[in-house]
Structure 1
């Protein structure tokens, strides 16, 4: 009886994903429950490709079948402990859930991020910036909303003149994620699962919106993940699920 229930639960999880070319699986980075949910979804989807916001293209290229069988060796090869991302033990089950999937990295190299201090976002992105929506300014209302979100995310400690650059940084990362996903789909035929933060997974202006602009023929699905007792993540997700809140200190304590 228990096995039948588990099989039914897995079928329910898989059902809304089966017809999709690309499945964005959002997260709050430090929430263990969100990564459990991602691993379950990846296992149900059996994607041909996994795209990680957390990896650069160069680091993704280091991953071999031998490394994927050894959590510690893989963590060391990716220099994960120096990356600033949460503990690798939360992410490894996602890799293990699709052992045959090709791995792609979508992180923008730090040197490119620094270029935003002196160059426009379309120049940093490079070829086909127009196709990925970076040559147009954002609508005024959206620009203002995104600047306010950046200020709040940085504990109201940013100089106001930095806010446009911070928004451009987010746009660059969204576009780089969309480009990596499109490359993964073109190389493998999909489906593609994307592991990224809720902010990048939102369908209204995140990577799915940019991917829809660059490749409107693709079927996209986006999962947002919230925490119990808090509001749902905004962004027009196809589905939102909740996990218990992670234990964390107030990140703004350093500014008090």
Structure 2
């Protein structure tokens, strides 16, 4: 049995790659399967609507933006919190959302190359058209790396720790997040990195919950990956901890043939899997 020794430089490079996979989708191919029929959500707008995604699935992105467009056309004006922007850039994002006349301007100003912006341009178009407030919901890669090294509490002021981490992170959340981060990395994440990467994901969810609650009394829509909007281990769990009376609704956008998400959303929309190269191929070399 071979033992792999990670040197500091190699370990840092691998960690950077692993963290990037948490926030970025696979490369898209040009062909796309026929569009599925949207699933109607007939309930009134909640205080907080969490809309998930498979990051690189173009059909899922279209279905989600149509769900949001329908609600906005009926008069709803929520704050939009997006995983695709880092919270440390909030001042710049606020100015861009206020001053830019089109979504491409926001994309240029923010310079966030980790994301395929062709998929998120329609959401930003709604932000501009309806003059919605836009909030950055993610941790920067630098902050995520620091959390991997120094723990969840590093990124949080005392008031956040008191609200969300007065008790240890529940074991079922840690277990569920570990399964998520391992699956997203083809079960190739080294054991020595697992706890740190899980901590970074938990910290993202807590920060998203905090930023959502900061918008009260305005309603909020969160645009984020499916793992973040899961009711059992994601943002809804932390919202419930901080404010049990908050009306929260979660919609997962899932690829057909997937598994492991039963009962973890209030509503699910399924669509064909996005044609993509094997994301695990790089680990098999």
What's the TM-score once normalised by structure 2's chain length?
0.76
Q: Return closer, same or farther for 1:235/1:164 CA change in 2, 3 Å cut-off.
A: farther
Alpha-carbon distance, 1:85 to partner: 1.2
Runs of 5+ in structure 1 lacking a partner?
A: 1-8
Please name the residue that 2:280 is paired with. Answer: 252
Alignment correspondent of 2:246? 218
The verdict on how the C-alpha distance between 1:23 and 1:250 changes in structure 2, with shifts beyond 3 A counting, is: same
Deviation of 1:132 after TM superposition, in Å, equals 4.4
Whole-angstrom distance in 2 between the partners of 1:78 and 1:114: 21
1:72 aligns with 2:104: yes
Partner of 1:41: 67
1:131, distance to aligned residue in structure 2 (A): 4.6
In 2, the alpha carbon distance for the partners of 1:37 and 1:209 equals 25
The equivalences for 1:19-58 within 5 A come to 19-46=45-72, 47-57=77-87, 58=89
Q: 1:209 aligns with which of 216, 237, 242?
A: 237
Q: CA deviation at 1:242?
A: 0.9
How many corresponding residue pairs?
239
Q: For structure 2, list consecutive stretches of 5 or more residues without a partner in the other structure.
A: 1-36
Report the Cα distance in structure 1 between the residues aligned to 2:259 and 2:176, rounded to whole angstroms.
18
CA distance in structure 1 between the partners assigned to 2:179 and 2:239 by the alignment: 25
**For 2:118, which of 59, 68, 89 is the aligned residue?**
89
Q: Tell me the distance in 2 between the aligned counterparts of 1:145 and 1:181.
A: 22
In structure 2, relative to structure 1, the CA distance for the partners of 1:65 and 1:149 (3 Å cut) is: closer
RMSD of the alignment, in Å?
A: 2.4
What pairs with 1:98-113 in structure 2 (closer than 5 Å)? 98=127, 99-113=130-144
Secondary structure of the residue aligned to 2:281 is helix
Match of 1:233 in 2: 261
TM-score for the superposition, normalised by structure 1: 0.83
Change (3 A) 1:131 1:42: farther
* Structure 2 residue aligned with 1:6: none
Give 1:169's aligned residue: 200
The 3 A distance-change label for structure 1 pair 114 and 150 is same
How far off is 1:119 after superposition? Answer: 2.1
